Amino acid sequence: MINAQKGLIITLIFTSLLSLFSCKTDKKEVFQPTVQVKYQEGRAILYRYGEPYFIIGAAGTQYMDKVAAYGGNSVRTWNLQDADSILDKAHELGLTVTLGIEIGRPLWGNDFAYWKIWEVAKKVEEIRPFVEKYKDHPALLMWGVGNEVKGYGGGTRLEVYYITNQVAKMVKEVDLNHPTMTALNHSSKIDFLTPTILSNIDILGFNAFRDLNRMSGKVYGEDGWKKAYIFSEWGTWGHWQAPETEWGAPKELKDAEKRHAMEQNWNTMLQDSSLLLGAYAFYWGYKHEGTQTWFSFFSEEGLQTPSLQFLKEAWSGKTVENAAPNVSDISIENPKSFVRDNFYLESDKIYTASALAEDPEADSLEFIWEIRDEENYFLDKNYSNPIDSLIVVSNGPKVQFKTPKDEGPFRVFVYALDGRGNFSSYNIPFYVIKR
Q: How confident is the model at residue 19 (pLDDT cuts 50, 70, 90)?
A: very low
Mean pLDDT over the full length of the chain: 90
List strands edge to edge, sheet with 350-358.
Answer: 326-333, 350-358, 398-402, 391-395
Q: How confident is the model at residue 17 (pLDDT cuts 50, 70, 90)?
A: very low
Q: How far apart are CA 280 and CA 233, in angstroms?
A: 5
**Closest by CA position to 170, among listed 200, 195, 149:** 200
Residues 163-190 have pLDDT tens digits of: 999 999 999 999 999 999 999 998 888 9
When mean pLDDT is compared across 198-202, 204-208, 337-341, the lowest value belongs to 337-341
- The structural domains of the chain, with segments of one domain joined by +, span 35-316, 326-433
**Closest by CA position to 425, among listed 410, 409, 414:** 414
- Alpha helices (runs of H) in 57-181, residue ranges in sequence order: 64-69, 83-93, 117-134, 157-174
Q: How far apart are CA 292 and CA 271, in angstroms?
A: 32
CATH 1.10.150.120 is held by the domain 326-433: no
pLDDT at position 29, please? 67
Q: How far apart are CA 136 and CA 175, in angstroms?
A: 8
Q: Are 250 and 289 in contact (CB under 8 A)?
A: no
* pLDDT at 25 > cutoff 50: no
Q: How far apart are CA 18 and CA 12, in angstroms?
A: 10
When mean pLDDT is compared across 113-127, 147-161, 393-407, the lowest value belongs to 147-161
Residues 79-92 have pLDDT tens digits of: 999 999 999 999 99
Residues 357-367 have pLDDT tens digits of: 999 999 999 99
Q: For residue 234, give the 3-state DSSP assignment.
A: strand
* pLDDT at 22 > cutoff 80: no
Q: How far apart are CA 15 and CA 179, in angstroms?
A: 45
Q: Is 414 left (phi over 0), alpha (psi -120 to 50) or beta?
A: beta
Neighbours of 225 (CB within 10 A): 23
Neighbours of 204 (CB within 10 A): 26
Q: How confident is the model at residue 26 (pLDDT cuts 50, 70, 90)?
A: very low
* pLDDT at 8 > cutoff 60: no
Q: In this predicted model, which residue has the larger pLDDT, 111 or 260? A: 260
CATH of segment(s) 35-316: 3.20.20.80
